[in-house]
């Protein structure tokens, strides 16, 4: 009896311990889904224009902070490549995008290639500036004839009489001009050449507006707005076209340009906004302001468009894109001026927001 009792007590204790341990495990098992459960993440991918990329990066970071389940990945690969990835059915899997971005909007051919399943939403705007590197020389003014002559390769020296004529009191060096241009398909190039096309018959006959140009003259090429602005900054005698925000970011000097009214105007939010306010917007929102009128208007401005499908396969993708770009057209506009961009005029913003309602999921 003593032996049996001695054996029985430890067994009872062991059973009790095992039962208690099982209860603890059961409790952990039941509570685990509540601890690990997280809201589903929606990934939105986009690619395209470098011109608005500084603003887009800010927008998408702020939006994610306030909407943690929405993650936006944007690749600044240039407007031409952005359109290609948006419309092409043969892009590599890693290049597939939910939205494109372009400063040249989409052509009729692009829209047809997208099976007429595309919307162009202007979400921001800005100036294309002529930034230059001339140590000791500031506040340069360039007439319409002067800057078209420079980029046609006809004006080769900084002390050319046509440059000096608009700049009395400035002693320009006898220094060769090197133009810095884009080597990739670019909406910034398109915006600049749309202006050249509007003001120069020779440019119009020889080149016209384009996203990629075989530039004449003494040319240096770089990729993206960042590449162009960086190359100007380290190349004495250089002048190039670049988004205002990139020139502003690294402190490049920018020329005052002669506008349609014969006034020399520096780029700024106010002067670019004055030019954009003259826009007459069609139903498809593809609007270009190639040679704006008005004494206060800066002459080279552009809208920048987000490219969206009218129909998406997944309802959550369509909904997330609508909400994201509605926010960009409303709250997001407040970030534009500090980064060197221009708010979309209210009349255009209202039409853009209405167009976003056409983004839906497939039936």
**Domain coordinates of the chain in residue numbers?**
42-126+301-361, 127-276
Q: Between the CA of residue 330 and those of 57, 68, 354, what are the distances in Å?
A: 16, 19, 12
pLDDT at 8: 44
Answer for the pair 297, 93: CB distance below 8 angstroms, yes or no: no
Q: How far apart are CA 230 and CA 267, in angstroms?
A: 19
Please give the CATH topology (third level) of the domain spanning 127-276.
Answer: D-Maltodextrin-Binding Protein; domain 2 (3.40.190)
Read off the tokens for 331: 């709250």
pLDDT at 37: 35
The second-level CATH assignment, the architecture, of 42-126+301-361 is: 3-Layer(aba) Sandwich (3.40)
pLDDT at 23: 39
Residue 272's nearest CA partner among 76, 153, 125 is: 125
pLDDT at 363: 66
| CATH topology match: 42-126+301-361 vs 127-276 | yes
> pLDDT tens per residue, the chain (363 residues)?
434 444 444 443 433 433 443 433 344 444 334 434 345 799 999 999 999 999 999 999 999 999 999 999 999 999 999 999 999 877 787 788 999 999 999 999 999 999 889 999 999 999 999 999 999 999 999 999 999 999 999 999 999 999 999 999 999 999 999 999 999 999 999 999 999 999 999 999 999 999 999 999 999 999 999 999 999 999 999 999 999 999 999 999 999 999 999 999 999 999 999 999 989 889 999 999 999 999 999 999 999 999 999 999 999 999 999 999 999 999 999 999 999 999 999 989 999 999 999 999 886
Read off the tokens for 210: 């384009």
**What angle do the packed helices 53-66 and 315-329 form, to 10 degrees?**
110
Full-model pTM: 0.83
Q: Which residue has the tokens 């960042």?
A: 226
């Amino acid at each position: 009896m003593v032996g049996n009792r001695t054996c029985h007590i430890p067994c009872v204790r062991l059973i009790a311990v095992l039962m208690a341990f099982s209860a603890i495990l059961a409790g952990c098992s039941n509570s685990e889904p509540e601890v690990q459960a997280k809201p589903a993440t929606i990934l939105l991918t986009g690619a395209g224009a470098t011109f608005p990329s500084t603003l887009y990066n800010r927008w998408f970071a702020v939006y994610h902070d306030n909407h943690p389940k929405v993650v936006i990945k944007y690749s600044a690969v240039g407007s031409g490549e952005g359109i290609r990835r948006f419309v092409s059915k043969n892009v590599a899997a890693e290049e597939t995008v939910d939205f494109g971005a372009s400063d040249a909007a989409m052509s009729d051919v692009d829209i047809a290639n997208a099976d007429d399943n595309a919307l162009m939403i202007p979400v921001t705007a800005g100036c294309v500036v002529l930034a230059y590197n001339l140590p000791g020389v500031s506040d340069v003014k360039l007439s319409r004839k002067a800057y078209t002559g420079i980029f046609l390769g006809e004006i080769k020296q900084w002390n050319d009489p046509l440059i000096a004529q608009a700049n009395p009191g400035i002693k320009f060096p006898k220094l060769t001009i090197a133009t810095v241009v884009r080597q990739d398909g670019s909406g910034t190039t398109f915006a600049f050449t749309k202006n050249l096309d509007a003001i120069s018959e020779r440019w119009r006959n020889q080149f016209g507006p384009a996203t990629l140009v075989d530039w004449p003259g003494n040319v240096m090429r770089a990729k993206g707005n960042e590449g162009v602005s960086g190359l100007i900054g380290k190349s004495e005698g250089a002048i190039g076209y670049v988004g205002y925000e990139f020139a502003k970011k690294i402190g490049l000097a920018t020329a005052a340009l002669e506008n349609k009214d014969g006034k020399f105007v520096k780029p700024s939010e106010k002067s670019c906004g004055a030019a954009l306010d003259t826009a007459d917007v069609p139903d498809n929102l593809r609007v270009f302001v190639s040679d704006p009128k008005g004494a206060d208007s800066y002459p080279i401005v552009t809208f920048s468009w987000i490219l969206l499908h009218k129909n998406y396969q997944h309802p959550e993708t369509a909904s997330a894109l609508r909400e994201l770009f509605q926010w960009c057209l409303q709250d997001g506009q407040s970030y534009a001026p500090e980064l060197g961009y221009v708010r979309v005029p209210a009349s255009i913003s209202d039409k853009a927001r209405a167009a976003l309602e056409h983004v839906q999921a497939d039936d």
